[in-house]
Amino acid sequence: MSRVLILSMLALWGKSCAATEKYCVHQPRGTESFVGEALTLPCRFVSPKNKEHDSEVTVIWKASNQDYCGGGNKEFYNSLANSTFPQYRRRLVLVGDPKALNATITLANVTADDANTYCCRIKMKHKDGTLTQFQSRKGTHLTVRGENELRIEQPSFIPAFIGDTVNIFSRFTTKNQNIHPNTILCQVRRGVGAGPGCTNIFSRRTCTDGAGKNILHFKIDHVNSSHQGWYCWEIQVLTKDEKIAKYEKNVGTELLIVEQTNHLDIWQPSVTVFNNHAIINCMYSAPQYENILWTRVYWMVGNSREHFIYHPDPDFIHPDYKGKTRLINESILVLEKFHGPDNTTFYCRVVIQRCGLQTEVIMEEGPGTQLRIYSMHDPVLKESSQCLNIIVIYAGIKLLFLLVLFIVALVYIKKT
């Protein structure tokens, strides 16, 4: 089928993100599953705010054996008709809430025949009788692995500023107990095109499983605009019969070099004290962007921002801080333990993902908070502690004085 015909079909089959920026569907480009497992296929969508609660939403899922989502693909789920294609019957559940702009499904007992590209499509019937249809053109490509194979998981994308030190993470899992990190060789491939495939070898070396949990990482120091592109892990395993089995990630991680904007007005305290634990505030203004899929807050450390102190995915967090940091109120960092030197600076980084034909990320960073180790020998902290003691003593005296006045008043009332 020619490229011109494909594009014509896409144009005719309802509205897409190109037709209007106010309607859009977002799916991860790829995922993997073992045979027999349950799989989640995420799908989020955005629409004009005045349409969200006034429209009847129908969720449709289609499957394709191509790497695009066209109009002639097999429709295997329709929430309005409550119909499911026989291949997926009794295995598929809509777990997302369309009223919350979420059309995520789960597929139980995955089979080898389920390896397809899955396309999420949204139909919105408005109160005025008009109908809007929109979908992701690329969909999610599912790779199904056998029980003696490796499943490779990578993040969809990593946003970075110029000068950051970036780790391209990968987590591999297997049901074969004979596969160990010391029997594995790795190479990272890179692609610079619009698609998520990786064709050129970027690095070849022995796998490093420093975390001990089948987590691999490749570090790129001080990234610049030339590093933007796709990165895919390829893992080679020596089998029992001395043969090499090769597993590669079909859809890689997109490294996005993001320009710093200045619209969120991120505020952090310049200094805070660590005494058994620390709470570091991070406040930012509400963004006025359209098509927002999600907003997340990350905490980083160091001049090159190499290490995450907090990240929603624990695999990204530096080993010294795993399980020792958390967020409250979605942005405030609670630090239970600290392993760095005095005067270490922590940075609050706010990331917004917008829906569109391509991944669009808005990222800003706070000015940093210097963490001071509590010590009574530190003149600054000592002075702060003395001031606090004075305030506490003053408050105690004032409370005692008010209590005495209250007792005197009671005695006077009784006498009269």
pLDDT at 310 > cutoff 60: yes
Among 229, 257, 285, the domain-final residue is 257
CATH value at residue 288: 2.60.40.10
Mean pLDDT of 215-223: 88
**Do 91 and 175 reside in the same domain of the chain?**
no
Please give the C-alpha separations between residue 22 and each of 56, 132, 177, 368, in angstroms, as whole numbers.
17, 11, 49, 35
Please check whether residue 262 lies inside any domain of the structure: no
Pairing of strands 307-310, 332-335: unpaired
**Do 221 and 303 reside in the same domain of the chain?**
no
Please report which helix (H) or strand (E) contains residue 307, including its range. Answer: strand 307-310
Domain count, the chain: 4
Please check whether residue 266 lies inside any domain of the structure: no
Burial 210-237 (b: 16+ CB within 10 A, else e): eeeebbbbbebeebeeebebbbbbbbbb
C-alpha–C-alpha distance, residues 228 and 231, integer Å = 9
Please check whether residue 283 lies inside any domain of the structure: yes
Among 257, 279, 308, the domain-final residue is 257
pLDDT (0 to 100) of residue 416: 65
**Do 326 and 234 reside in the same domain of the chain?**
no
Per DSSP, the three-state class of 39 is strand
Kindly report, residue by residue over 57-81, the tens digit of the pLDDT: 999 999 888 767 765 568 889 998 8
Mean pLDDT, the chain, integer: 81
Kindly report, residue by residue over 122-158, the tens digit of the pLDDT: 999 888 888 888 888 788 999 999 888 888 999 988 9
Where in the sequence is the domain holding 329, given as residue range(s)? 271-373
pLDDT (0 to 100) of residue 16: 37
Task: Name residue 78's amino acid.
Answer: N
Q: What is the DSSP letter of 109?
A: S
Kindly report, residue by residue over 341-384, the tens digit of the pLDDT: 888 999 999 999 888 666 688 999 999 999 998 765 555 545 54
Cα angle 116, 117, 120 (rounded to 5 degrees) comes to 130
**Do 131 and 190 reside in the same domain of the chain?**
no
Among 124, 144, 164, the domain-final residue is 144
Please check whether residue 132 lies inside any domain of the structure: yes
8 Å CB contact between 332 and 325: no
Please report which helix (H) or strand (E) contains residue 138, including its range. Answer: none
**Do 17 and 130 reside in the same domain of the chain?**
yes
Please check whether residue 8 lies inside any domain of the structure: yes
**Do 156 and 138 reside in the same domain of the chain?**
no
Please check whether residue 52 lies inside any domain of the structure: yes
**Do 248 and 310 reside in the same domain of the chain?**
no
Please check whether residue 296 lies inside any domain of the structure: yes
pLDDT (0 to 100) of residue 351: 93
**Do 17 and 137 reside in the same domain of the chain?**
yes
Question: φ, ψ for residue 240 (rounded to 5)?
Answer: -60, -35
Q: What percent of the chain has pLDDT over 70?
A: 81
Written as six digits, the tokens of 94 are 């809509």
Question: φ, ψ for residue 7 (rounded to 5)?
Answer: -65, -35
Please check whether residue 264 lies inside any domain of the structure: no
